[in-house]
Amino acid sequence: MRPSPRVLLIDPSDAGRAVLAERLRFQGFVVNECKDGAEGAIQALEETPDAVVADLTMPSISGVQLCRLLRSEPGTSNVPVVLRGSESRRNHFWSEQAGAFAYVVKGRMGELVRALRRAMEQKAHEEPDDFFIVGLTRTLDVRERIATHLDAALFDSVIAAEVRRLGTSESFERLVDLLSQFVSQVTSYRWMAVWRLEPMRLGIHNNPANREQALIEAGLAFGRTPDVPVVAVEDDDAVADPAGPPAIVEAIYFGDRLIGSFALSPRAPVHQNDPVLVKTISRELGGALRMATLVEESRWMATTDALTGLSNRRAFIDWASREVARSTRYSDHLCVLLLDVDHFKQVNDRYGHAAGDAVLAAVSRLMASIVRSCDVVARWGGEEFVVALPSTSLEGAVLVAERIRAALERHPITDPNRQTLTVSASFGVAELEPGETVDQMVDRADRAMYAAKSAGRNRVLSTAQLAPVLQSLTPQSIPQSSPMAPKKVSTSPPSVPLASKKVAEA
């Protein structure tokens, strides 16, 4: 005759536990009672039961933690655990994730008994396990084992949750910075790096004392030369050890698509958690990295001119509006240059639009190489460009415009057909006046630019020089596209509406 199945019942409520134990005994189970989750785990490890019934929520350890612990121990890995609690999809989900055999709502005695019967039938059909004895000399040994398994389970879930939170980073730079802040709290390392494939970038966190060495080692770890744009986070959170064990490297996937790699250069000796840490971060980082890349791409498309790579008109106005407010508050100078490529239509007509695009791209690169890092260059529209010069007087802005004009005049441009072209540009310069908006300031620079074109092109005019130049111009010398061009006055009589004509004839 087969012995009655032995069930370990863990319930913090004395009254509830007593009632449930009695009813299970009526159903033919041998019941061992326990009120504490940790003590129940000790009992299960000391003498393996046929099944465990436990509450999902308990004071010492939760039912989820109990499941993970018992499944991690060789002696109890096949013991079915039935968890109990309130009706909730979340409770069912976490019980399933923890590896529970079943989740039963409290009060449903028939459902609990049926779950235990199914568990016993399943065990009866399984191959018997090898004989296993857990040697216990002190209760503390079991508690340490519980803590170790719980720490391992929680370690993975906490790391995963923290990495997933990086999905709100919105940029590669911020993702690398936030990741370094988090990882440096979890382990100690010489450097940490993220390699993104599309668009290719390297993000690295290292100690300032070993900057060059960290870049070299990261390149070797990824098997690539770090000759790509680098986002460097440098502080003392990364240790300054001159050497260490080999870097731990794991691939980063988004779905089935390889999108990058993550590497960590640990300190000696390597902590046992470091390989697990790197694997967990790499596994979870794909979504966050892809999200940051998509946000960057959408922002780039919304604020960047695709042909030249410069800021577009909308982005320039947004930035300049804030700069106008700053300059007004601190009584600082702010100037803009507006330039138009001379005879650009002739370039398109004679050499083709591909050559025109090459000219615009070359002009944008030249300007970006001349201005300061605090200045902003943007494509205003067509063949027009605008440059904002913070903390720059009108005289200083004229000098900058003249420097760009002279450089452009002697700058050879090669079009797609390998033809060499040279172009010039006309410049208008204006300085922010009290109470002005961005549009008003740019409009004055626009008038000065058209005056420069009317005066012969390939020159710089500021708004301070505008009046005498306008006086010297004849109406015929002003381009019809200019805002200063005289309007044509029609000499033909105004047309009469058809209805009015009929009335007049009548």
pLDDT tens string 202-234 = 999 999 999 999 999 999 999 887 678 899 999
Question: What's the pTM?
Answer: 0.55
Residue type (1 letter), 418: R
Cα–Cα dist 292/351, whole Å: 41
Show the tokens assigned to 313. Answer: 């008109």
Place of tokens 């790391």: 159
Domains, in order of start, for the chain: 6-136 (3.40.50.2300), 164-303 (3.30.450), 313-477 (3.30.70.270)
pLDDT of residue 125: 66
In the three-class reduction of DSSP (H, G, I as helix; E, B as strand; rest coil), residue 363 is classed as helix
How far apart are the C-alpha atoms of 300 and 170, rounded to whole Å? 12
Per DSSP, the residues of 80-119 read -EEEEESS-HHHHHHHHHHT-SEEEETT-HHHHHHHHHHH
Q: What CA dihedral angle connects 280, 283, 286 and 288, to 10 degrees?
A: -30
Spatial contact of 21 and 31, defined as CB atoms under 8 Å apart: yes
Phi/psi for 505 (5° steps) reads -65, -35
CA 73 from centre of chain: 39
CA gap 95, 29 in Å, rounded: 23
Higher-pLDDT residue of 211, 46: 211
d(CA 191, CA 266): 8
Closest CA relative to residue 308, chosen from 359, 352, 360, 374: 360
Q: How many residues does this entry show for the chain?
A: 506
Which amino acid would we find at residue 294? L
pLDDT tens per residue across span 383-427: 999 999 999 999 999 999 999 999 999 999 998 888 899 999 999
Q: What is the CA angle 153-93-61, rounded to 5?
A: 45
From 392, 413, 257, 256, select the one nearest 337 (Cα to Cα): 392
Run of H or E residues at 262: strand 257-266
pLDDT category of residue 364 using cuts at 50, 70 and 90: very high
Model confidence at 69: pLDDT above 90: no
**Mean pLDDT over the full length of the chain:** 85
Reduce the DSSP state of residue 128 to 3 states and report it.
coil
**431-440, pLDDT tens digit by residue?**
999 999 999 9
155: Cβ contacts below 8 Å, ≥ 6 apart: 273, 276
